[in-house]
Chains A and B, each alone.
Chain A
């Protein structure tokens, strides 16, 4: 379920808001945004693909369904949302160019695929080397994932498209887009498909940034395994809209259980990091904690977070745990703001 985007511009003193592009490079979704004289422009795509059979029946079916076919290393595939829909019809799992926040090492053509998806959704640069600020996960605290390779791949890709790439921490992008009134002081959390990214900042100075290698994909997989159904069915149940406070079906029950587990886990990880001597913060006043990202969209998410926060000692006082004004677009919006401010 993709909510409609509202206004993108964060009211700041930006020298040229018509320059710069924001790109949220998420494990499940890619969101690009920019501002033009005509208004805000947003492009989004599922970060997924699916190899299909080369036979005439499949080709005819795809043509009839108006689904474009692409060639990757000689093999036919469908991209983005189409891959997601097509896989649902046949109860197959989509293939993913990214996994746990970075380029998927198990997919040989991952870079080729993500290049095609991004090229399709991204506009031509308005000026040579227009800045494109893209989201990057932080190093995880509970896994050995390295982000260097991923960062270089995205930078190279954007450079090839004629942009000047600038990486920005995914959770800091949430702070940029949502904590302007708090002078960019507080906690930004991006709950993506692959990981949870956390950033704690004081007047835009980063105190700590890290990620937790558990995201929406983890919930889907575990909820599916628990009741022995396919991940697609879990995704369909989530897409229909549900509340983890009042699950109605067996699938929803399983999703709710793993969502609560996921929330408890990432709050505990945050507490663990904030109690490290070099990562803690001593804010003079309680600060806001803002959540964004596709995995935070499920009904009842923020209520469970607030409840769990009562039993976790984060080491900092939270004034309010709240959802971002546009959780799905928040990271892209923060990236855009970064690009606009970096454009001279």
Chain B
């Protein structure tokens, strides 16, 4: 490989990077996209370093970052701060840009030489809503260029298509189910026919379920992350989560139907297409089953033959961006052929059919890697 190729999934909850190593293996790194201002004596920073705490000193303040911020917030019962909200930079956090820069640098590092490229995910324009997308995308772009990469934005939904629909020749619908947004992309042979985002996603479920039963959103989130079966919820919290998941899915399918109906470009699709989902919000058991039912009932203007979950759903967007980088840059991976390059990024089974298999467990595909600073 003559160039450094990296990708970055800029999610509201997680930042995930992917890179191709010299032996052509894809390596992922993951960080929680979170921070927390903590009160620490200046003399204790060495101790925190020894304890492998992820932190940054900005001015006189010390911030716990990533997973450390998440854990500390849980123990200190303080609300976590997030550099991003609704899929883009959080306008309420003055430190958002600085923190995001630190986290991104911790993930992708500085480019090792000239010509290094990094493809990063960006959400699509929101459906029926004003967007802060340009500012967000430009800031990420500037951060990556500042680190020495030639940065290219990839639509988040298209990244899911790249990752999960390679055997369908990148034709179909990719849905990235994140924390801040649902990103939907209708693709024909890797070309975007339509793409939009919906401002209801994981956080919306947490907030509304929390309000409904008088809990705090982070308590709902920890129950969700502990594993919920949406088809058979156990207890009050899980029940609230399942209710809002069903509402979210119904809303998403309704939005999709409206967009498809207004598209006027569906004639390019001669055959039924597949729908593939990725992202942390798609992880609970029963999600695909509920989506498949909603899609069937909605009678969409475009025929859907399969609804499934991408392999390693949490890493699928970073993987998709990496596939985009390899395919679009004409980069040589040493002696490997174009086919080999794609194979390096391609999941073995791009789409798990919801018809043939029940929704997989959340834990099985998630091989969590220790975040690196």
B44 and A341 within 8 A (CB) = yes
Q: Is B98 an interface residue (CB 8 A)?
A: no
Query: What is the total of A-B residue contacts with beta carbons within 8 Å?
Result: 62
Name, among B40, B41, B76, B77, the residue most crowded by chain A CB atoms within 10 Å (CB to CB): B41
A280 and B41 within 8 A (CB) = no
Which residues of chain A are near B47, meaning CB under 8 Å?
A: 12, 184, 203-204, 341
Chain B, interface residues (CB within 8 Å), range: 20 to 34
Which residues of chain B are near A84, meaning CB under 8 Å?
A: none
Report the nearest B residue to A12, measured CB to CB: B47
Give B58-75 interface residues, CB cut-off 8 Å to A. Answer: 64, 72, 74-75
B46 and A341 within 8 A (CB) = yes
Type the 1/0 row for A266-282, where 1 means its CB is closer than 8 Å to any CB of B. Answer: 00000000000111111
Report the nearest A residue to B53, measured CB to CB: A203
Which residues of chain B are near A283, meaning CB under 8 Å?
A: 75
Which residues of chain B are near A13, meaning CB under 8 Å?
A: 46, 50
Q: What's the nearest-Cβ distance from chain B to residue A81, in Å?
A: 31
Indicate whether A206 sits within 8 Å of B77 (C-beta atoms), given known contacts A13-B46, A184-B47, A341-B46: no
Which residues of chain B are near A184, meaning CB under 8 Å?
A: 44, 47
Q: Is B271 an interface residue (CB 8 A)?
A: no
Q: Is A183 an interface residue (CB 8 A)?
A: yes
A280 and B46 within 8 A (CB) = no
B43 and A341 within 8 A (CB) = yes
User: How far, in whole Å, are A166 and B50 apart by their CA atoms in the complex?
Assistant: 23
Q: Is B128 an interface residue (CB 8 A)?
A: no
Which residues of chain A are near B39, meaning CB under 8 Å?
A: 205-206, 209
Q: Is A202 an interface residue (CB 8 A)?
A: yes
Q: What's the nearest-Cβ distance from chain A to residue B214, in Å?
A: 13
Chain A, interface residues (CB within 8 Å), range: 20 to 34
Q: Is A298 an interface residue (CB 8 A)?
A: no
A202 and B76 within 8 A (CB) = yes
Give B24-42 interface residues, CB cut-off 8 Å to A. Answer: 38-42
Q: What's the nearest-Cβ distance from chain A to residue B98, in Å?
A: 20
Q: Is B78 an interface residue (CB 8 A)?
A: yes
B41 and A281 within 8 A (CB) = no
User: How far, in whole Å, are A281 and B39 apart by their CA atoms in the complex?
Assistant: 14
Which residues of chain A are near B48, meaning CB under 8 Å?
A: 203-205
User: How far, in whole Å, are A277 and B76 apart by their CA atoms in the complex?
Assistant: 10
User: How far, in whole Å, are A128 and B302 apart by their CA atoms in the complex?
Assistant: 78
Q: Is B51 an interface residue (CB 8 A)?
A: yes
A207 and B75 within 8 A (CB) = yes
8 Å CB contact of B41 from A183, A204, A278, A282: A204
Report the nearest A residue to B79, measured CB to CB: A278
Report the nearest A residue to B76, measured CB to CB: A207
A281 and B76 within 8 A (CB) = yes
User: How far, in whole Å, are A97 and B50 apart by their CA atoms in the complex?
Assistant: 41
Which residues of chain A are near B43, meaning CB under 8 Å?
A: 133, 166, 337-339, 341-342
Q: Is A134 an interface residue (CB 8 A)?
A: no
Main secondary structure of the interface of B (DSSP, over half): helix
8 Å CB contact of A278 from B53, B72, B74, B77: B77
User: How far, in whole Å, are A283 and B78 apart by their CA atoms in the complex?
Assistant: 13
Which residues of chain A are near B72, meaning CB under 8 Å?
A: 202, 205
Q: Is A172 an interface residue (CB 8 A)?
A: yes
B77 and A342 within 8 A (CB) = no
Give A183-217 interface residues, CB cut-off 8 Å to B. Answer: 183-184, 202-207, 209
Which residues of chain A are near B78, meaning CB under 8 Å?
A: 278
Q: What's the nearest-Cβ distance from chain B to residue A12, in Å?
A: 8
User: How far, in whole Å, are A330 and B48 apart by their CA atoms in the complex?
Assistant: 22
Q: What's the nearest-Cβ distance from chain B to residue A173, in Å?
A: 10
A205 and B76 within 8 A (CB) = yes
Report the nearest B residue to A183, measured CB to CB: B51
User: How far, in whole Å, are A183 and B47 apart by their CA atoms in the complex?
Assistant: 9
Q: What's the nearest-Cβ distance from chain B to residue A182, in Å?
A: 12
Which residues of chain B are near A203, meaning CB under 8 Å?
A: 47-48, 51, 53
User: How far, in whole Å, are A184 and B51 apart by their CA atoms in the complex?
Assistant: 11
B77 and A281 within 8 A (CB) = yes
User: How far, in whole Å, are A226 and B231 apart by their CA atoms in the complex?
Assistant: 69
8 Å CB contact of B74 from A205, A277, A282, A337: A282
B77 and A204 within 8 A (CB) = no
A205 and B64 within 8 A (CB) = yes
User: How far, in whole Å, are A297 and B98 apart by their CA atoms in the complex?
Assistant: 49
Q: What's the nearest-Cβ distance from chain A to residue B63, in Å?
A: 11
Q: What's the nearest-Cβ distance from chain B to residue A138, in Å?
A: 11
Q: What's the nearest-Cβ distance from chain B to residue A251, in Å?
A: 41
Q: What's the nearest-Cβ distance from chain A to residue B70, in Å?
A: 13
Q: Is A292 an interface residue (CB 8 A)?
A: no
Q: What's the nearest-Cβ distance from chain A to residue B222, in Å?
A: 11
Q: Is A54 an interface residue (CB 8 A)?
A: no
Which residues of chain B are near A282, meaning CB under 8 Å?
A: 74-77
Report the nearest A residue to B39, measured CB to CB: A206
Which residues of chain B are near A279, meaning CB under 8 Å?
A: 77
A342 and B42 within 8 A (CB) = yes
Name, among A205, A209, A283, A339, the residue most crowded by chain B CB atoms within 10 Å (CB to CB): A205
User: How far, in whole Å, are A279 and B77 apart by their CA atoms in the complex?
Assistant: 7
Kindly list the 3 A-B residue pairs having the minimum CB-CB distance in the complex, ordered from nearest.
Answer: A341-B43, A206-B39, A204-B44
With A278-B77, A279-B77, A341-B46 already in contact, 9 other A-B pairs whose C-beta atoms are closer than 8 Å: A13-B46, A168-B41, A183-B51, A203-B47, A205-B48, A281-B77, A282-B77, A284-B75, A339-B43
Interfacial residues, chain A to chain B (CB-CB below 8 A): 12-13, 133, 166, 168, 172, 183-184, 202-207, 209, 277-284, 337-339, 341-342
Query: Can you report 23 A-B residue pairs in the complex whose CB atoms are below 8 A from each other?
Result: A13-B46, A166-B43, A183-B51, A202-B72, A203-B47, A203-B48, A203-B53, A204-B41, A205-B48, A206-B38, A209-B39, A278-B77, A278-B78, A280-B77, A282-B74, A282-B77, A283-B75, A338-B41, A338-B43, A339-B43, A341-B47, A342-B41, A342-B42
